[in-house]
Copies of this chain bind each other. A is one copy, B any other.
Amino acid sequence: MKMAELSAVSGLSVATVKFYLRENLLAAGERTAPNQAHYGLEHVTRLRLIRSLIEVGGLTIADARVVLAAIDSDLPLQDTFAIAQRSVSEHIDPAGIDPSALDRVDAVLDGWLVSADNPGRLAAARVVQSLDEVGHTDACGWLGRYAHAAQLVAEADIDEIAALSDRAAQAQTVVVGTALGDALFRGLRRAAQEHVSALRYSADPARHHQTP
């Protein structure tokens, strides 16, 4: 198909598709004339993936380029995971983290196989430090319950990957799941908060729409 059709099928403007081509997120089409190229279904598929990572997962162009390269590579799945994690995590300077906050995070991760530079370990410690600063110094029970739920979610993530048979599909699921899983959990947490607080506090639970 030509550029106009690729744009129509993918639901992205020609300018956006050309931008992704220039940024090397999307492979060039097969040139059929000096200013014309032919695109295939693999371009449509890739555009959907790029859109999902950027529009829903919130990745920057630079981060999307890094994770797409990891999907295309033949890196071991573990390394793809580490790349995906770093790409969707804010860089946190360990020097700015209070050691006591890190100790409390490590206490709830007791027995977990987690590298010292795991971006999530530092991010969690920064939240604990921030909670200290606003006076929630006794949040260890809360933290432990979050860690338990996080383990259930990680097991669901890994099972979803393990169910796939080929390396390319697994690598794509690692990247998509890491980026979109955050957004999915955030959404479900909002719904669950309304449900649990309505059960406990609402004078009028009927005003909450019972789904489905």
Contact = CB atoms under 8 A, between A and B. Distances in A.
Interface of A: 45, 48-49, 51-52, 55-56, 77-78, 81-82, 85, 89, 103, 106-116, 118-128, 130-131, 133-136, 139, 141-143, 145-160, 162, 172-173, 176-178, 180-202, 205, 207-212
A150 B181 contact: no
A123 B180 CA distance: 11
A123 B109 CA distance: 29
A210 B127 contact: no
A201 B77 CA distance: 8
Contacts of A200: 158, 162
A102 B118 CA distance: 34
Nearest to A210: B113
A173 to B, nearest CB: 7
Copy number in the complex reads 2
Name, among A49, A109, A111, A143, the residue most crowded by chain B CB atoms within 10 Å (CB to CB). Answer: A109
A130 B194 contact: no
Nearest to A128: B184
B150 A191 contact: yes
B211 A106 contact: yes
A190 B113 contact: no
